[in-house]
A and B are shown apart, each in its own frame.
Chain A
Amino acid sequence: MPLLALLILIPAAAGLACLPARSPRVMSALGVLACLATLALGIALLGQVLDRGVVTEWNEFLCADALSAWMVLLISAVSLGAALYAGRYFQRDLDAKAVTPGRVREYFVLTPLFVAAMFLVVLANNLGVMWFAVEATALSSVLLVALYNRQTSLEAAWKYIILGSVGLALALFGTVFLYAAAVGPAAVGKLPSFNWSHLITVAPQFDHGLIKVAFVLALVGYGTKAGLAPMHTWLPDAHSEAPSPTSAMLSGVSLKIALYALLRFHILTTACLGPGFSGHFLLGFGLFSMFVAAPFILVQKNLKRMLAYSSLEHIGLICAGIGINTPLTIFGALLHMGYHALAKPVLFFAAGNIHQTFHSLKFRLIGAGVVKVLPVTVLLMSLAAVAAIGLPPFGLFVSELTVISGALAAGQTAAGALIVVALVASFCGILQQLTRILPGARNDASAGDARWTDGVAAMVLLLGGLLVFSIWLPGSLQEIMRRAAAIIGGKG
């Protein structure tokens, strides 16, 4: 069974199938089914990769190693959560006349395509293909960001697409340089393959100058898409203006997808130049992102923007962990990727409920005592927040600790200290901001049409997964992550 092809085709098909569909219920059902299917496929893929190391299809057009498999799992898990959440969410929007049915269809058509594009990114063997898959994710999600057609959402979408395209143009430039590097050692006259499986073998012979420029361009390019400071400026806008399920997917996976693309370059660069060069850049940008995020969280006025900045914080941590480039830190970074992918969507879902109930995301306008109106949502949100600010029993505490201890074990004491400082700062920010709205008294029980079941299924699913995997991680996952870490660490 062509796993990889199906992984890409099923969501694409589901998206196209939504074109003729009438009722939102049917469409969301289609989405959920597709995501369930991809999740199953992802798990199957996990098994195969564990057996055979690398899985390839369509004469090596598609290829999946441990790293890809890990990303596949993240994508399918988060998109499943989003699909579960989306149905009721848009139902409420339709009831409130916040969107037109046409736009809802737009969502249900584009989201699966978005997912398919992300799958293509991680499964493409050819780095050029990977590039245009990333571009495809941008193009398929930009209209989702603009879904509400408010002035602000259009602005966000415009910034997203313009900055994204510029970044990707640079990424393409980087890809070209990489290809040139690949051509270099190849014999004149014949077109060399641009496949990952080929490149990784010839990487050591690359021309150093070319690979350096290639990596730098890719860093700026894909870094823009991954939201590394100072290229992150589109991130809070897009995350705050998009409908909550989309925000969840953007912050939950799409950032990490761009990071994945960057990682491929990082691996090749490391293989060619040794660990120093690209690693230091990743570490630097990671730390910088963390320190940019913290103050913005501290004085943030808007719930979803705050969540977006916290995503920036986490991406920074992941980036730094990989940059330090020891097995421990890379493992911790991958672990963090996974946990963050499970925790952050829950926060965005809860934010969505709050938005639909109080018709605003501004802390000031929401006011204190949300718990009196949306007890269940607040409970789940608090749990997710506890996870996101890195407290036990949730795994982010462990992964953060792993990264920091890895940093110290690698002698990067300063980096470790800086990470701790940034984490503490953002902790203070998030705690203080959420305390402004979640607890407290409220006299107007303006429950709106909120039902306690809104989006609970999705949130419970993700949180449950997070809690279980925090305490007990199946051997297969541990193994896949170890191998992925080995690939990134250049020992794969």
Chain B
Amino acid sequence: MTMNAPTPSEIGSQLITFCAAGMLVFQLLLVVQRMLLTNIRLFALQSLLLAAIAGIVGFVNNATHVYIVAVLTLIGKVLFLPWLLDRQVRRIGITQEIDPLFGPPTSMLLCGGFTLLGYVVARPFTALERLGNNTLGVAMTLVLTGFFLMFNRRKAITQVLALLTVENGVMLAAVALTTYGMPLVVELGIFFDLMVAVMVLGILVYRIRESFASMDTSKLNQLKG
């Protein structure tokens, strides 16, 4: 059995798998962590890994537009959005999430289940992945857990954050499944939409806070039936 030097693509897929795993870890930390600021940091790190994956993909099959995606992710999700949310949180002055729907132990248990589900759903398509293995599974898990995070937390900010992690999952899937990510125009559109969405959400959170004197979304329950 001889050791021959690994091709860049093999190394690439190793790295991608590693980063994907990292994203998953951060996601799980997000689920248990209650401090809002820490949550934002964790999200930033997760996005950083996503950018890294994009970069690696771009490098491996030297596709310029994937670099662009990486850069956009870096600017948007790693720097701009965390900064924005950070500002919001400081302005509002609420530091931590109180009484989520499920406590940490239950959450972890459920997330384990979602991970399982993610992998099960992704299994048939591992053959299609050209880079990394089971990245798709990770992506699916990210989406599911992000979703879980959304209805587990009550603070508007956390829900926005969760939404963004779902987005991350989707982008990861895009990279994992299609080698090159989506066509550039789509990527741009998605990025643009994301920014606007966060702006709008910010505006709403602000208005809600000033008319409800809180950003606890479980207080938003006057519309019934």
Contacts and interface: CB of A to CB of B under 8 A. Distances in A.
Contact of B186 (A132, A180, A237): A132
A247 B103 CA distance: 39
B184 to A, nearest CB: 9
B193 A300 contact: no
A189 B185 CA distance: 18
B102 interface: no
B25 interface: no
Categorize the interface residue count of chain A.
35 or more
A300 B217 CA distance: 25
Given A156-B223, A180-B177, A169 B170 contact: yes
A21 interface: no
Given A128-B183, A169-B170, A146 B204 contact: yes
Given A169-B167, A299-B225, A142 B178 contact: no
B182 A165 contact: no
Contact of A158 (B156, B177, B197): B156
A194 B186 contact: yes
Interface string B159-189: 1000100110110011001111011011001
B106 interface: no
A143 interface: yes
A114 interface: no
B196 to A, nearest CB: 5
Contacts of A156: 223
A179 to B, nearest CB: 6
A237 B174 contact: no
B143 interface: yes
A305 B163 CA distance: 28
Nearest to B180: A191
Interface stretch (A147-155, A223-231, A347-355, A423-431): A147-155
Contact of A132 (B159, B179, B192): B192
B124 interface: yes
A209 interface: yes
Interface stretch (B29-37, B41-49, B71-79, B206-214): B206-214
Contacts, number: 138
Contacts of B169: 173
Interface string A281-295: 000000000000000
A180 B186 CA distance: 14
Contact of B204 (A129, A142, A300): A142
A126 B185 contact: yes
Contacts of B221: 155
A143 B150 CA distance: 22
Nearest to B123: A209
Contacts of A237: 223
B4 interface: no
B192 A143 contact: no
Given A146-B207, A296-B225, A162 B182 contact: no
A409 interface: no
A194 B182 contact: yes
Contact of B200 (A139, A173, A189, A302): A139
A240 B169 CA distance: 34
Given A139-B200, A213-B121, A176 B208 contact: no
Given A129-B186, A136-B193, 9 more contacts: A132-B190, A143-B203, A155-B220, A158-B217, A166-B166, A169-B170, A175-B182, A301-B225, A305-B225
